[in-house]
Amino acid sequence: MKEKKFEFEYEVYDDIGQLAEEDAWLLREAKSVTEQAYAPYSNFHVGAVAMLENGEVVAGTNQENASYPVGICAERVLLGSVATLHPNVAIKSIAISYNSDEIKSDHPISPCGMCRQALLEYETRLKKPIRLILGGMEGNVFIIETANQLLPFAFTKSELG
């Protein structure tokens, strides 16, 4: 028997003011696009904005539905748009932010399990790591160098032969 450990490093910034200019800009865009979320059921408005390798910027927001499971997260709305608008262009970074009528947006959130799987597929597809910049309207910001770190033991296309 062998014991193995999974660990990863990420950066923690006190606030957006400590970020490099492009990262701060992208996070501001993610905060701003939360206004386009359709979240009448959770009142939790999420914005995700991607900076592509060619300099294009694409945004996504969560889109909920009266039939709750039909709702889709901001990250997967974003990935679908990137894949359609800019096929075969890798994503450099994605900034994710949120706003809520009910809770304070003062800490980072990270993508849900389903979105982690979708992000990993995109990294595999374009053979490029996607940096994640995670922050609320205020407070700490986390930077994670590649989305695959969020999903150890992932199921990927290589399993399918």
Q: What DSSP character marks residue 55? A: S
Query: For residue 155, what are the contacts with CB-CB under 8 A and spacing of at least 6?
Result: 117
For 21-116, where are the E strands, in sequence order? Answer: 44-52, 57-61, 91-100
Q: Is 74 in the site for ligand THU (CB under 6 A)?
A: yes
- Distance (Å, rounded) from C-alpha 135 to C-alpha 85? 26
Residue 110 CB, shortest distance to ligand THU, in Å, is: 7
Among positions 23-42, residues that touch ligand THU (CB under 6 A) are 39, 42
- Distance (Å, rounded) from C-alpha 7 to C-alpha 34? 31
Active site residues: 75
Q: Is 44 in the site for ligand THU (CB under 6 A)?
A: yes
Member of 19, 91, 115, 120 binding ligand THU (CB under 6 A) = 115
Q: Is 71 in the site for ligand THU (CB under 6 A)?
A: yes
Site residues, ligand THU (CB under 6 A): 39, 42, 44, 46, 62, 64, 71, 73-75, 109, 111-112, 115
